[in-house]
Structure 1
Amino acid sequence: MWKVGSGECVSTLEGHSDWVRSVAFSHDSTLLASASDDHTVRVWRMGSGECLHTVNVERAMYRISFDSSGKHLYTDSGLVDISTLSTSAPASISAETQTAQYQHVALSATGIWITYNSENLLRLPSEYRPSCSAVSGNVIAMGTGNGRVWTCEVQSSVS
């Protein structure tokens, strides 16, 4: 840790084993999330630098952000509930790794399936498989290699 200018600190959070592709602060700036090519998202406590959660997301994430409550992360693949993750005995870089359970509409790690609550819902034909994607609520948008962008809205049918 180094002192800079008027006594502000610069610190390094270590734990990822590959390039970090995205970082995001929670709305109250108490948490920082980082996504890496090592296929993990880490959630850090600002101030202490403690790693609270390590989530296996099964692919690199290029866009992450917190929702307004700080309990969910928006990712390239969908919404991840971090409020239910274990925080027992967190350690700086050895917090237990857990596999992401996506809520609502998401894209599988392989890009082959549209999922709902981490369950396979719709298998995508090869020409519809995305090179990039974004999720908002119950709608997923995907860009494809043939220059097309397409969207899919999932509606639950309650009997």
Structure 2
Amino acid sequence: MRFRDGTPGNTTLFIEFRDTATNTTGWLSVGTIPAYDPAVTQQYRLNGSVPTGRVFISGVVTDGGAVDGIVFGLFWKDAVGSYHLLKSNSSTSYGSSDFYGMWPIGVSETSFTSTYLPQVTDGFARNQSYMSIAGAKMLNNGYHTMTVY
């Protein structure tokens, strides 16, 4: 699940994964991210790979608003059946609230599902999407590292 605020363009999110069988890493490009709505949801078959917590963002262009960048949430089940959640986060601050769900990018769950997720019709999937992104922090261009639990 990912959402972007800023000038429309070719903003891309890359997520680093580690293949647990070979202990090698690689990058997954999750594609061009549109500004505002709709938010983008995708499913991937991880085949035993796990996120390392490193991401790279390119193409964010500000539109002069309070905050610009992208937020994302990854929710996955590992090889032994445990669930994990990784949300965008950073120690960098914009000087205002830059967490998804509070001003200036505040949105209620009802508004989120009707405005930003019209493509998701299953109630459980909508709840999972909202849970994965609410409280995620807006990130700008560059490399970012988060702790994976």
Query: One fold, TM greater than 0.5?
Result: no
Structure ID, larger Rg: 1
Answer 1 or 2: higher relative contact order, Cα 8 Å, separation at least 6. 2
Scaled by the length of structure 1, the TM-score of the pair is: 0.24
Structure with higher helix content:
2
Q: TM-score, normalised by structure 2?
A: 0.25
More strand by share: 1
